[in-house]
Structure 1
Amino acid sequence: MSAEQVRTYGGWREAKPFGVMGMDGRQSITALVLVMAAILAGSISFAWLLIGVAVTAGYVGLAALRLHGEPVGDVLSRRVWWRWADRRGWTTFQSELTGPTASWQLPGPLAATVLVPAVDAHGRAWAVVWDRRSGRLTATLRVAPASTWLVPAAEADQWVSQWHHWLAALGHQPTMVRAAVTVETAPSPPTALAAAVLPRVDPDAPASARALIEDLVVGAPAASARVETRLSVTVDPARTTGGAPESLDEAIAAFGTVMDGLATRLGMCGVGVLGRADTDQTAAWVRSAFDPAARDEVARGGQHLTWAQARPVRAKEGWDRYRADSGLSVSWVWDEAPRQHVPHDVLTNLLGPGSFAKRVTVIYEPMRAAVAAKLVDDQVQATHFKAILRRKTGKADSARDEADRADAQRAAAEEARGAGVCSVGLYATVTVTDPNRLAVACADIEHRAEESKLQLRRAYGSQAVAFMAGLNAGVDPGLLRGR
């Protein structure tokens, strides 16, 4: 395929609320009420008018002004709440290993979760993370995506198209909440290849064959990387058509049927399914995330970790970092999608292995058809409203305003033709064991994000939630908002 025929993708758009000056509808109405109150106060006395104007200006400033892409009011509110929680010790987790008050739960958002073993229709073991607070269930598929560099560009584009259809089908599952794709990479020790290959050599094999394998291992580069790709699915049994299941076992059985259907269709997306993650595997990658120094030991297997054993001994959330056992981590959230059209391999730099352990999770939240239609129509109306408001105030549309309106209209037209609509988010986490290397690791992630045309924002005041959102344990930051 020639360079002129390379297919590109784009048109991602952040949902914009009805409102003025960057405020949403609720904030705009509140500002209008404050303006009217200031006018009424002015009829009483000039002093009351000044007070009303000051209050209105302060509110509008906090709601409309932006700091790193966020309303100033949200940043200040999060900072105040984080300091308040920190002073009360709520940002510190300490696991009591002994005594009558021993704590066996996981920290923060994972505290309400339980790892439930299950068996599918073929007798194969798998695991479900049950959030006892929300009732949601999460299971994970271990997958092996095929490399797009080994196939023609047309076939890679076909995989992207089938992935779109796979995501669109999620919106027709009444219990579906979200799907999350996680790519985790970490440097491997120089002995990793020998440890993985040599124990598997058959001692009865011909001497020449054994010698060849040993020569290949010795001659292989010392530097290597461990790469794992996982796809987790979260459902809410309470959304089941006809009523929620009567028991957890019934809910898990129904969930297993959903997982079978989803796994079957992944093959058309260029993704091979290695199987569902069982309890040992699920606990192992959570333990490795909290304690990266134990990653190699855990990877060798044979420990049969429980969910309680996956917890850290001690964890401390900072304003801009998260410390758990031997790991010091920093997490980012997706701030803005690529503005331009990009090829299918745009995320290669961000997802590829490097010198530091990192985890990138892309979350897709499908919308039901009726909800999606209303959303895209509301977005079109919002762009028209803002265009009319700008004309009334004598302001011309900027190039970005025109592009945003065109994207909103294009999304509505595509949805009307049957396309699915998803809310997409991304979380990236880098982990080091040496605090002196943290600044270099952060710079590496931010540079990779720029090469992938993404704008990331460090999750200030929400490091623990952003860290755990990528653990394939069903942690939903949106569900935790306001708690």
Structure 2
Amino acid sequence: MTTELAPHPTYGNWRRPKRPGLGPFGLIGTFGVFGGIVLALLVSLVSLPAALAVVALLALTLAPLIIRTQDGRNLYQLVALRIGWLRRKRKGAHTYVSGPLSPRPGGRFRPPGLLSRTTLYEGRDAYDRPFGVLHHRTRNTYTVVLGCEPDGGSLVDPDQVDVWVASWGEWLARLSHEPGLRGASVIVETAPDPGTRLANEVLPRIRDDAPAAARAVMHEVVERYPLASSEMHTYIALTYGAPAGKREHAEIVTDLAIRVPGLLTGLVGAGAGSAAPLSAERLAEVVRVAYDPAVAGDVLSARTLQGGTGLEWEDSGPAAAVETATAYRHDSGVSRTWLLTLAPRGTVRSNVLRGLLEAAPGTRRKRVALLYRPIDPATSARIVEADRRAAQFMATSGRGMVQARAASEVRAAEQTAAEEAAGAGLVEFSLMLTVTVDSAAQVADADVTVRNLQAAARLSLRPADRMQAAAFACTLPVGLLPWEHTLVPQELQEAL
């Protein structure tokens, strides 16, 4: 009798898109280099000192394009970030006050920042389930949020996990065929269990004539059990552009109601468990708790005892919020957000993000947002072919270790091209992490926690300094896509 150990599947082959252009210059910098050389040659026909001045000016202009951070940002982008932060501070845009005593019209607690120009509608899908639709008026996009209860990975066979991963990949590939889809995000939120649900379930059932020892045991269970447990919520936000020829909000909500059941069916096969769309009231509650974590227990009690909170979108924001260079203070919490700079190198196993997704001790709430940008099949074919040609060129022009690394790039590019030709989808992805603590003094401890978590997950993260408020909003399940809310168009940023 022989036994064979089942191999654990590994996953990988994600690639950073190749930047067009000459070396670190980018496409715009490359045009600047060749254009400057031609201009210097023409000026040298008239005056040699003038030609040298042109060359010096060209060097000073293009030098900041060479200096780049680990995530690919050049010196111009870093300077623009600091200038934007100083301008917001000078205008007072880094502070926010709402409510009846604030100067804002209406006297309500609207969400701030990128969520200030949003409207929440509600519709019903084919199964007569209510679902909320967020309309972002700035970019004229509509967001539907789905709530999931994923199956745990404990005591699950590797084959089943591999099936879930394959089904999740198929579901992401289907997003590239969704008409009008701009992007998707998966938000996993964890927090210590407040014990509200357990108390509401156990305490009313304790009888007065029960033995004192039994009553004491049940009270101790209600008091101590939440200290060692946590709650986890998973949300999937799908953001669509406004369809051409449809201007009425009711028509767009009806169109989205038809798509919701099909999207939920694909999620069940990917291990998402029971999935259902979030109603408008539930969506407002999620945002309200994110800005004021202290009310999480009250919200759970109201839902359990009264069946709902009756909270509206106009009252889901904070009463006061202050953005600093390194943190974001809002009502009863202080948050800091990190951005992904480098994905894990090589291959990983399915549990690589498990520690990052689990509740972290010493934190009030933690959200991990995976952002996806589906690419249509025609563009995907052009991208993989361009990467394949670039990898082959580097492999034939290098020597030594450079050539060995280029050969590995060729194998990865060939595999990507073969998978895309077989029907696989191409998706750009990133990750954002928000940690909320009780006070500013605990932010330093949160930094240490995040450093340990990213090391275990083989990720490289950097703080979203001087844009903490916007980054905090992007990790909420409200469908904010960072590339849709930049002053510089995405195509121009890629050319830099």
TM above 0.5, yes or no, is yes
Tell me which residue corresponds to 1:443: 448
Tell me which residue corresponds to 1:197: 201
Tell me which residue corresponds to 2:350: 344
Aligned partner (choices 410, 413, 416) of residue 408 of structure 1: 413
Query: Retained in 2: the 8 A contact 1:66–1:72?
Result: yes
Structure 1 residue 148: deviation in Å?
Answer: 1.6
Tell me which residue corresponds to 1:231: 236
Tell me which residue corresponds to 1:465: 470
Matched letter for residue 253 of structure 2: I
Indicate whether 1:291 and 2:292 are aligned.
yes
Tell me which residue corresponds to 2:378: 370
Equivalent-residue separation in structure 1 for 2:368 and 2:434 (angstroms) = 6
Structure 1 residue 84: deviation in Å?
Answer: 2.1
SS in structure 1 at match of 2:402: coil
Structure 1 residue 96: deviation in Å?
Answer: 5.2
Tell me which residue corresponds to 2:494: none
Structure 1 residue 475: deviation in Å?
Answer: 1.0
Question: Deviation string for 1:31-75 (max 9, x for gaps)?
Answer: 221232233334443442333222222233211221343222211
The gaps in structure 2 that reach 5 residues or longer are: 303-307, 489-496
Indicate whether 1:397 and 2:407 are aligned.
no
Aligned partner (choices 313, 319, 339) of residue 325 of structure 2: 319
Question: Deviation string for 1:12-46 (max 9, x for gaps)?
Answer: 11111221222322221122212322333344434
Matched letter for residue 380 of structure 1: R
Tell me which residue corresponds to 2:28: 26
Tell me which residue corresponds to 2:278: 277
Change (3 A) 1:371 1:199: farther
Structure 1 residue 193: deviation in Å?
Answer: 5.9
Aligned partner (choices 10, 14, 17) of residue 16 of structure 2: 14
Structure 1 residue 6: deviation in Å?
Answer: 0.9
The gaps in structure 1 that reach 5 residues or longer are: none
Tell me which residue corresponds to 2:83: 80
Structure 1 residue 404: deviation in Å?
Answer: 3.1
Task: Using the TM superposition, name which of 424-433 and 219-228 deviates more.
Answer: 219-228
Task: Using the TM superposition, name which of 265-274 and 10-19 deviates more.
Answer: 265-274
Indicate whether 1:115 and 2:116 are aligned.
no
Matched letter for residue 350 of structure 1: L
Query: Retained in 1: the 8 A contact 2:193–2:226?
Result: no
Aligned partner (choices 347, 360, 368) of residue 354 of structure 1: 360
Equivalent-residue separation in structure 1 for 2:423 and 2:258 (angstroms) = 25
**Following superposition of structure 1 onto structure 2, how do residues 201-220 of structure 1 map, counting pairs within 5 Å?**
201=205, 217=222, 220=225
Change (3 A) 1:2 1:437: farther
Equivalent-residue separation in structure 2 for 1:193 and 1:106 (angstroms) = 27
Matched letter for residue 72 of structure 1: L
Change (3 A) 1:470 1:244: farther
Tell me which residue corresponds to 2:148: 143
Query: Retained in 1: the 8 A contact 2:98–2:104?
Result: no
Query: Retained in 1: the 8 A contact 2:264–2:275?
Result: no
Matched letter for residue 52 of structure 2: L
Query: Retained in 2: the 8 A contact 1:129–1:473?
Result: yes
Query: Retained in 2: the 8 A contact 1:17–1:379?
Result: no
Change (3 A) 1:111 1:221: closer
SS in structure 2 at match of 1:148: coil
Query: Retained in 2: the 8 A contact 1:41–1:48?
Result: yes
Aligned partner (choices 419, 424, 430) of residue 429 of structure 2: 424
Query: Retained in 2: the 8 A contact 1:322–1:329?
Result: yes
TM, length-normalised to structure 1? 0.90
Task: Using the TM superposition, name which of 346-355 and 291-300 deviates more.
Answer: 291-300
Question: Deviation string for 1:221-269 (max 9, x for gaps)?
Answer: 633212111112112232xxxx443421111111112111010121211
Indicate whether 1:159 and 2:164 are aligned.
yes
Question: Deviation string for 1:421-446 (max 9, x for gaps)?
Answer: 11111110011121111011122012
Query: Retained in 1: the 8 A contact 2:384–2:416?
Result: yes
Task: Using the TM superposition, name which of 363-372 and 54-63 deviates more.
Answer: 54-63
Change (3 A) 1:385 1:45: farther
Query: Retained in 1: the 8 A contact 2:193–2:227?
Result: no
Question: Deviation string for 1:315-343 (max 9, x for gaps)?
Answer: 22222222222221111111111112111
Structure 1 residue 214: deviation in Å?
Answer: 6.1
Change (3 A) 1:403 1:207: farther
SS in structure 1 at match of 2:231: strand
Change (3 A) 1:221 1:136: closer
Query: Retained in 2: the 8 A contact 1:20–1:386?
Result: no
Aligned partner (choices 331, 337, 342) of residue 337 of structure 2: 331
Tell me which residue corresponds to 1:379: 387
Equivalent-residue separation in structure 2 for 1:324 and 1:359 (angstroms) = 16
Equivalent-residue separation in structure 2 for 1:169 and 1:224 (angstroms) = 36
TM, length-normalised to structure 2? 0.88
Matched letter for residue 336 of structure 2: V
Equivalent-residue separation in structure 2 for 1:372 and 1:85 (angstroms) = 38
Equivalent-residue separation in structure 1 for 2:86 and 2:37 (angstroms) = 32
RMSD: 2.8
Structure 1 residue 312: deviation in Å?
Answer: 1.5
Structure 1 residue 9: deviation in Å?
Answer: 0.2
Structure 1 residue 3: deviation in Å?
Answer: 6.1
SS in structure 2 at match of 1:67: coil
The alignment-based identity, stated in percent, is 29
Equivalent-residue separation in structure 1 for 2:45 and 2:98 (angstroms) = 61
SS in structure 2 at match of 1:442: helix
Change (3 A) 1:118 1:192: same
Equivalent-residue separation in structure 2 for 1:379 and 1:114 (angstroms) = 41
Query: Retained in 1: the 8 A contact 2:130–2:279?
Result: yes
Question: Deviation string for 1:430-476 (max 9, x for gaps)?
Answer: 11121111011122012101101111122223222211111111211
Structure 1 residue 275: deviation in Å?
Answer: 2.0
